[in-house]
Amino acid sequence: MLIAVGGHSRNVGKTSVVCGIIAALPEMNWQAFKITQHGHNICSQDGHPCDCAPADATHPFAIDQQVGVDSTDTGRYLRAGARRAWWVRTAQGALGHAIPDLRGLLADAPNNIVESNSLLRFLQPDLYIVVLDYSIADMKDSFRLYMDRADAFVVQTHGLSPPPWQGIPPRWLQGKPCFDATPGETIPSQLTEFIRSRDMKKASGQKGSASSVEDPA
């Protein structure tokens, strides 16, 4: 199974949801990935300023394995119980360069979870879970591209209604599982059961494994 966890902005709780899924379903022996796309003049090789990125594509991506538990996002994945964790770094808009290597790593484990919206440009996950925080009005362009493909939402409303984002059709939020994020709860328990049920359907052949998607660009 391949799960992508995305969100409409930074700091909405995506990493916490990834860790919650890993901890709630230890029997799935997750391999976890964090995908980061650096901005202009930041090198994917080491995350430092560099003239090579992104114009020359000298270092379009780097993939490093997390070797121990620490306070980084990938370190948190290991603390939650992931058997392996990886940090994928690319120049902005250059994720495609990393996809062949990423595919090889995904093939090494039966169950993978990836913190990324942009992965959907290249691969079709079995589940795309989107984290929403109604108190944050910012919205990533990558999120606007793929929000309608969400299979489920994890929502922090903070008592606000309707959602604060303009130009989002209501149908994108309606008719899909929507799990309320409760303070003190790692992830909603219903989300755990939702993932288990999808995994059972996949195992029985009712849903295909992750596949390529056509690049819309």
Band (140; pLDDT cuts 50, 70, 90)? confident
Please check the confidence at residue 17 and state whether its pLDDT lies above 80.
yes
What's the whole-number average pLDDT of the chain?
84
Q: Which of 55, 65, 60 is nearest to 44 (CA)?
A: 60
Q: What is the mean pLDDT of residues 52-77?
A: 81
Alpha helices in 135-203 (DSSP H): 141-146, 189-203
Q: Which residues contact 183 (CB under 8 A, 6 or more apart)?
A: none
Tell me the backbone φ, ψ of residue 195, rounded to 5 degrees.
-65, -45
How much is the pTM? Answer: 0.84
Tell me the backbone φ, ψ of residue 107, rounded to 5 degrees.
-70, -15
Please check the confidence at residue 190 and state whether its pLDDT lies above 70.
yes
Other Cβ atoms less than 10 A from the Cβ of 41: the count is: 14
Judge whether 150 and 171 are in contact, CB under 8 Å: no
CATH says 2-206 is which class? alpha beta
Tell me the backbone φ, ψ of residue 39, rounded to 5 degrees.
-80, -170
